[in-house]
């Protein structure tokens, strides 16, 4: 949680990390985003794109000119101007600690990946109905992007936490699902640079639930992309738990915002695509997330290569879940026996996101977690919300473990509350 609080000003990079699951999920499942990558090589550092690289090589820069950095921040030069809104600076409530999402996809089928950035909100703005709509950037094929949000029809007006991309109606054009607090939305691609909100008729509003991540995947192989929505905490915005008030609102003796432990979890939802523009909620029927864990990341994958999509869900402060698809319309949760439900020492993890690295012989699931070394303490004199990210980086470990007969599970980031 804490890292996310502090990196909100890093513009595009941060929501991209937070929404790792949506990006990887859509690429893997639809197959279209992968094939829709630019036919030509990606733009080289020319014109405006070259400026940041030159600046990084000036005398005094840490990286020698003969060894330029692998990545250069070209956000501004590319025309991306996005500032994430995520509650107030004090972070009094858990709602304010993680917001926004990002997706790279080709919404206009021109062969070039465009960018969609989902914004959060603040308590005051949310209560007042003030919108922080998502921003859609069209790829100009020259390393720059144009903000086409105003005419896109992506008018989501809530507190956004994520986005999933998939062609939900099989017309060859990618559609958009945005997750939010107490309300998510499905937008159908109209093929002309605009989208239409079809949430109500589709039946995927996820109303009264705090949706964080979502992913499209055809689990029953009927040719229609189904939709999984990870939900986090069952929270009443008019009766929020008070900062520092109670055992679950402390971090090593320091008052912090409450949760997720101590708060009621919100049950994830699995929506089956009926192929006619509507979805059916099959959560109860298929026994999904029966314990209502704190869902933050979701990924469809066929880890046993039987042709049926399985499902992995990263949960915060609770076991992660792996659902094996029996290829007959049902799932069996096998996270513990597969070795991907807990850390290598048997502890629940603060799962934030997921990625998968297929290899020749195994499928490696990477769960992005937050875990500190046992001896790490908040530096004296510093409020938790004021800890520089450089301090966190120095004190938080990266560990790699191998667990289970099937999976090589790596924890790439470690910060435990």
> Out of 65, 127, 146, 171, which residue is the one contacting Ca ion (CB under 5 A)?
171
Beta-carbon count within 10 A of 11 CB: 18
Residues in the interface with Ca ion (CB under 5 A) total 24
> Alpha-carbon distance 298 to 294, whole Å?
12
CB of 348 to Ca ion, least distance (A): 25
For position 167 contacting Ca ion by CB under 5 A, the verdict is: yes
Q: Does 187 sit near Ca ion (CB under 5 A)?
A: no
Is residue 175 within the footprint of Ca ion (CB under 5 A)? yes
Stretch that binds Ca ion, among 96-104, 128-136, 213-221, 345-353 (CB under 5 A): 213-221
CB of 275 to Ca ion, least distance (A): 8
- Taking the least distance from each CB to Ca ion, the nearer of 129 and 223 is 223
H/E stretch holding 265 reads: none
- Which of 90, 208, 284, 304 touches Ca ion (CB under 5 A)? 304
State which of residues 302, 387, 391, 395 lies at the interface with Ca ion (CB under 5 A). Answer: 302
- Smallest distance from the beta carbon of 14 to Ca ion, in angstroms? 23
In the chain, helix, strand, coil percent, each to 5? 20, 25, 55
The answer to whether 222 contacts Ca ion (rule: CB under 5 A) is yes
- State which of residues 135, 224, 366, 408 lies at the interface with Ca ion (CB under 5 A): 224
Q: Which helix (H) or strand (E) holds 139?
A: strand 135-139
CB 281 within 8 A of CB 263: no
Tokens of 333: 């949760």
Of the candidates 22, 96, 106, 119, which one interacts with Ca ion according to CB under 5 A?
Answer: 106
Question: Stretches 81-89, 167-175, 208-216, 382-390: which one binds Ca ion (CB under 5 A)?
Answer: 167-175
Q: Which stretch binds Ca ion (CB under 5 A): 68-76, 240-248, 289-297, 307-315?
A: 307-315
Binding flag, residue 226, Ca ion (CB under 5 A): yes
Nearest to 154 by CA among 127, 115, 125: 115
Q: Per CB under 5 A, does 220 bind Ca ion?
A: yes
- Segment near Ca ion (CB under 5 A); pick from 9-17, 122-130, 149-157, 305-313: 305-313
Stretch that binds Ca ion, among 143-151, 152-160, 211-219, 335-343 (CB under 5 A): 211-219
- Of 187 and 210, the one with the shorter C-beta distance to Ca ion is 187
* 289 is a contact residue toward Ca ion (CB under 5 A): no
In this chain, which of 22, 96, 169, 348 binds Ca ion, going by CB under 5 A?
Answer: 169
Q: Determine the Cα–Cα distance for residues 31 and 170; give it in Å rounded to an integer.
A: 13
Using the Cα atoms of residue 403, residue 406, residue 408 and residue 410 in order, give the sign of their dihedral: negative
- Contact range with Ca ion by CB under 5 A, out of 26-34, 104-112, 228-236, 254-262: 104-112
Distance CA 101, CA 123 (A): 18
The token duo for 412 is 């790439």
Q: Is 38 left (phi over 0), alpha (psi -120 to 50) or beta?
A: beta
**CA 373, CA 398: separation in Å to the nearest integer?**
10
Structure tokens at 39: 């036919």
Which residues, numbered 369-388, are part of the site for Ca ion (CB under 5 A)? none
- 147 counts as binding Ca ion under rule CB under 5 A: no
As measured in angstroms, the least distance from the Cβ of 203 to Ca ion is 15
Q: Which of residues 110-139 bind Ca ion (CB under 5 A)?
A: 110, 112, 114, 139
Least gap, CB of 381 to Ca ion (angstroms): 50
Q: Residue 187 or residue 294: which is nearer to Ca ion going by CB?
A: 187
DSSP 353-392: EEEEEE-SS-EEEEEE-----TT--PPTT--GGG--HHHH
Cβ density class 326-362: b for 16+ within 10 Å, e for less = eeeeebebbbeebbbbbbeeeebbbbbbbbbeeeeee
* Of 107, 113, 134, the residue nearest 191 (C-alpha): 107
**Interacting residue ranges for Ca ion, rule: CB under 5 A:** 106, 108, 110, 112, 114, 139, 167, 169, 171, 173, 175, 189, 218, 220, 222, 224, 226, 273, 302, 304, 306, 308, 310, 325
């Amino acid at each position: 949680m804490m890292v996310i609080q502090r990196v909100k000003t890093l513009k595009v990079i941060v929501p991209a990390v937070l929404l790792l699951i949506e990006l990887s999920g859509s690429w893997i499942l639809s197959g279209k985003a992968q094939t829709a990558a630019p036919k030509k090589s990606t733009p080289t550092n020319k014109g405006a794109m070259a400026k940041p690289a030159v600046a990084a090589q000036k005398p005094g820069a840490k990286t020698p000119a003969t060894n330029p950095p692998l990545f250069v921040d070209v956000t501004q030069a590319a025309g991306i101007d996005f500032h994430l809104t995520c509650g107030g600076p004090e972070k009094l409530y858990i709602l304010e600690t993680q917001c926004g999402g990002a997706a790279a996809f080709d919404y206009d089928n021109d062969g070039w990946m465009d960018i969609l950035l989902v914004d959060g909100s603040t308590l005051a703005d949310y209560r007042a109905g003030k919108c922080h709509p998502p921003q859609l950037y069209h790829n100009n094929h020259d390393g720059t992007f144009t903000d086409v949000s105003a005419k896109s029809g992506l008018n989501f007006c809530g507190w956004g936490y994520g986005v999933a991309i998939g062609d939900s109606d099989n017309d060859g054009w990618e559609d958009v699902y945005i997750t939010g607090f107490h309300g998510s939305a499905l937008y159908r691609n109209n093929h002309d640079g605009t989208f239409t909100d079809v949430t109500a008729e589709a039946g995927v509003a996820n109303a009264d639930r705090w949706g964080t991540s979502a992913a499209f995947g055809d689990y029953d192989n009927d040719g229609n992309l189904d939709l999984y929505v990870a939900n986090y905490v069952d929270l009443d915005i008019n009766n929020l738990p008070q900062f520092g008030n109670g055992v679950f609102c402390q971090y090593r003796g320091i008052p912090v915002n409450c949760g997720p432990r101590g708060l009621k979890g919100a049950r994830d939802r699995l929506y089956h695509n009926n192929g006619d523009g509507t979805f059916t909620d099959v959560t109860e029927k298929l026994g999904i997330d029966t314990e209502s864990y704190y869902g933050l990341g979701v990924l469809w994958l066929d880890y046993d290569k039987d042709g049926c999509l399985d499902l992995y869900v990263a949960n915060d402060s609770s076991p992660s879940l792996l659902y094996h698809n029996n290829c007959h319309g049902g799932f069996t949760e096998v996270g513990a026996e597969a070795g991907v439900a807990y850390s290598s020492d048997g502890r629940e993890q603060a799962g934030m996101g997921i990625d998968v690295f297929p290899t020749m012989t195994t499928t490696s699931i990477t769960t992005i977690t937050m875990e500190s070394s046992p001896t790490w303490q908040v530096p004296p004199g510093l409020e938790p919300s004021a800890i520089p990210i450089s301090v966190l980086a120095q004190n938080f470990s990266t560990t790699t473990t191998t667990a289970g007969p099937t999976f090589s599970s790596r924890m790439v980031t470690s910060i435990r509350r």
